[in-house]
Structure 1
Amino acid sequence: MDAGRSHEGPSEGPSKAEAVARYLLYLASKSKEPELITNLRLQKLLYYAQGWSLALRGEPLFDETLEAWKHGPVAPSVYHIFKTHGKQSIPQGEARKDSPLLSEEDKAFIKSVWRRYRRYSALELR
């Protein structure tokens, strides 16, 4: 797992990992949780969503391989999309409710993961 290699470059459109991330941002924007989502917290939530999908559904939620970075697991393409926000919360304008890449079953699953982990900060999700 190479944390130093570049994952930026031409893209063929949004990935499913990005769709999951933007749906998590949508759920956060609609919740009453005081803490919005930073890129670090988003990466932790993606990790839990992927892990629970593998455990409960027997398949990955998205195809991107998570990498082990200094502060925990990272979906590199998603990290690079939101890295301009640094340690700040990702603006609600980045959220997306609908994506052709997410089935209703996927959305329900992501929502269940959000409900379970929404109260935890990025540090608590470590």
Structure 2
Amino acid sequence: MANVFDVAEYILQRLGDMSAMKLQKLVYYSQAWHLTWHEHPLFSEQIEAWANGPVVKELYTAHRGNFRVTPGQFAGSRTGELQPHEAESIDKVLAFYGDKDPQWLSNLTHMEEPWRLARHDVPDGERSSNPITLESMIEYYSSL
């Protein structure tokens, strides 16, 4: 199984430099759609429902303080070891979401059930580390 850094680096190699916020959203959608299409997670790290949308804390810690992220930023990632079906899932996500603006992606996640369920008891704009569950992702995205 890939880890979040493998997925993030793969995305950066495909699309180039981008904002850290956009990377987080593309990682989220890669997990959500891979889970829906293949019925198992793409990576094991948990996704949290932060105020600006879904965030993988470990990835955030690695790019903290950087508005933009670049290919090669996540040393030790193993993009070459992604399974063909994993790379295919990410490629499909990038084909649909890759040209979208970071704020557009964030706004979209705010309208979708997995993020909203995870934040049901959190006031707008407040910090939260509530998890977005795999179950809520597969239930929501498989219904689309």
TM-score normalised over the length of structure 1: 0.73
Which residue number corresponds to residue 4 of structure 2? 17
**CA RMSD, 1 decimal:** 1.9
Q: Is the 8 A contact 1:53 1:59 kept in 2?
A: yes
Which whole-Å CA distance do the structure 2 matches of 1:110 and 1:119 have between them?
Answer: 14
Q: Percent identity?
A: 29
Which residue number corresponds to residue 119 of structure 1? 99
Q: Is the 8 A contact 2:30 2:90 kept in 1?
A: yes
Q: Is the 8 A contact 2:34 2:86 kept in 1?
A: no
1:26 aligns with 2:13: yes
**Counterpart AA for 2:94:** W
**Counterpart AA for 1:125:** L
1:105: Cα distance to partner?
1.9
1:65-80 matches, within 5 Å, as: 65-80=46-61
Matched pairs, number: 103
Structure 1 stretches (4+) deviating beyond 3 angstroms? Answer: 95-99
CA offset digits 1:77-106 (Å, max 9, x no partner):
111111131x2x212332778343x11221
Which one of 98, 105, 112 corresponds to residue 85 of structure 2?
A: 105
**Counterpart AA for 2:40:** E
Greater per-residue strand proportion: 2
Which residue number corresponds to residue 63 of structure 1? 44
**Counterpart AA for 1:72:** G
Which residue number corresponds to residue 70 of structure 2? 91
Q: Is the 8 A contact 1:67 1:76 kept in 2?
A: yes
Q: Any stretches of 5+ residues in structure 1 without a counterpart?
A: 1-14, 30-35
